[in-house]
Amino acid sequence: MLEGYRPLIRFFQTRESERASNRARLGQTKETPMPSSWSNDMVWWHVHPLRFTGAERSLAEAGPDPVPRLAQLEPWLDYAVSFGANGLLLGPIFRSATHGYDTLDHYEIDPRLGTTETFSHLVALCRSKGVRVALDGVFNHMSRDSEIVRRALKGGPGSADGRWIRWVEGYPRYFEGHEALVELNLSEPAVIRHVVSVVSHWTDAGADAWRFDAAYAAGPDAWHPITDAIRFLHPGTWLMGEVIHADYADFVHRSGMDSVTQYELWKAIWSSIATKNFWELAHALGRHRAMVEHFVPYTFVGNHDTTRIASQIPDPRHLEHAIALLALLPGTPGIYAGDEQAFTGVKTDSATGDDAVRPPFPANPYELLPFGRDVYDLHQRLIGLRRRHRWLVTAAVTTRELENEFVIVELTGADGERLEVVLSLCDEPRPLPPGTVLEGSNRSSPNLEPHGWAVVEP
């Protein structure tokens, strides 16, 4: 697969001395290990920096000088580590027009968040606490006002500049109909060089991993030359793509990525609980098991684009069921900032529809209201349980005693290890399977309380 892209790789080989110098500055004596050697132990805390820090809604509203708001994340690192996270997944941090996904310049930190020095200080602090950093690479599209798009529009479809973007019958292709977002042409060699160069630049600056936004739009084959080059230059980097509707395993194979977003499981978790239909969960878990045989999916119950899990589930007694599934099912879990505190918020289809799920956070964790402490403690206990059973990341998952409002989810390791997650939405008690109850809503009775859950070691 690499043969057709040797010129691209030679292009990036010329930067090896600069990369070596950067590694030395960061205290790295050699390349980091392959992702599979560290990604299986990851629990990501996902933050949308522009909204988390209360930055202006648009760059035009900001003042002339950079404001080091990325530093506002620093007091939260110990908080994230204390409930079990060891990765910081940052939403867009590059210069953009408004919300971060309308990039203006991939090589510049958004002035509303600070400068390269602000980012470097955050990375160094993460390193000191054993926290890896993932960046959001918005490469499928750019702001219509970016210099790259302006040159392309001026040059037109037949020009060298014009080939940087996608065209439809002579008109620029807009991402999902948003005229402010123009799609890049990821099959154009110049664009491939640009994307790989940006990834290499910020990986040299300390990024361990990348989330490729809207990876589904260009399709898996468009990403393979990009991931090939990144693998050559930075073999230790974990690459994850945002994919919604697709054959996930096929996408991973053809794109060369390590993982993709497991939206099927996200939907099944909240929907099966909200509608009291565990048959939906069982179906999704069957598909999830097949995926895990090929790759480790990125699992989540909330993100910056979805209604908060605490708002998706109408009965608050059942929120813990969703948290238990995320914490213990196979995959690489990501926790969207605030979900660990049972934040609520409903996403709507409007100009300000994301506001409720992207609120500003206080200056430090001590200013949080106390109402979410129990949910935070539950995350801490369940992630601790996950870390004591490292085999869970690739466990085989099956279901039994399946009913509309009751299910036992069996998790089995390669060496015969077993855990059972018992979930009930019923109004009456149900008997627990034999074994030791490690966690749950009640741990002293042979019966599971109504609307309860438990983790049992047979």
pLDDT in tens, 261-292: 999 999 999 999 999 999 999 999 999 999 99
Taking alpha carbons only, the member of 209, 203, 147, 139 closest to residue 175 is 139
pLDDT at 27 > cutoff 60: no
Calculate mean pLDDT across residues 115-130: 98
Which 8-state DSSP code applies to residue 184? B
- What is the rounded CA–CA span in Å between residue 257 and residue 49? 24
Q: What average pLDDT does the chain have? A: 94
* SS3 state of residue 107: strand
With cut-offs at 50, 70 and 90, classify the pLDDT of residue 351.
confident
Calculate mean pLDDT across residues 374-399: 98
With cut-offs at 50, 70 and 90, classify the pLDDT of residue 442.
confident
What pLDDT is attached to residue 322? 98
Tokens (6 digits) for 78: 């110990």
Calculate mean pLDDT across residues 320-340: 98
Per the DSSP assignment, residues forming a β-bridge with 99 are none
Calculate mean pLDDT across residues 76-105: 98
Taking alpha carbons only, the member of 73, 68, 71 closest to residue 48 is 73
User: Distance of CA 158 to CAs 147, 149, 150, 356, Å?
Assistant: 18, 14, 15, 43
User: Distance of CA 372 to CAs 167, 171, 319, 339, 379, Å?
Assistant: 48, 49, 12, 9, 11
Q: What is the dihedral of CA 291, 292, 294, 297, to 10 degrees?
A: 80
pLDDT digits (tens, 9 = 90+) for 204-243: 999 999 999 999 999 999 999 999 999 999 999 999 999 9
Locus of tokens 């599209």: 141
Tokens (6 digits) for 161: 């500049």
Which one is predicted more confidently, 84 or 15? 84
Calculate mean pLDDT across residues 42-69: 98
Give percent above pLDDT 90 in the chain: 90
What pLDDT is attached to residue 136? 98
Calculate mean pLDDT across residues 159-179: 97
pLDDT at 65 > cutoff 50: yes
Which one is predicted more confidently, 27 or 271? 271
What pLDDT is attached to residue 259? 98
Q: What are phi and psi of 360, to 5 degrees?
A: -70, 145
What pLDDT is attached to residue 28? 45
pLDDT at 95 > cutoff 70: yes
Q: What is the largest CA-CA distance in the chain?
A: 73
With cut-offs at 50, 70 and 90, classify the pLDDT of residue 31.
very low
pLDDT digits (tens, 9 = 90+) for 181-190: 999 999 999 9
What pLDDT is attached to residue 254? 97
What pLDDT is attached to residue 24? 53
What contacts 162, CB < 8 A, 6 or more positions away? 152, 153, 155, 156
Q: What predicted TM-score, i.e. pTM, was given to this entire model?
A: 0.93
For domain 3-393, say whether CATH 3.20.20.80 is its number: yes
Q: Among 15-29, 133-147, 149-163, 197-211, which is the least confidently predicted range?
A: 15-29
Calculate mean pLDDT across residues 298-314: 98
pLDDT at 9 > cutoff 70: no
pLDDT digits (tens, 9 = 90+) for 191-201: 999 999 999 99
pLDDT at 2 > cutoff 50: no
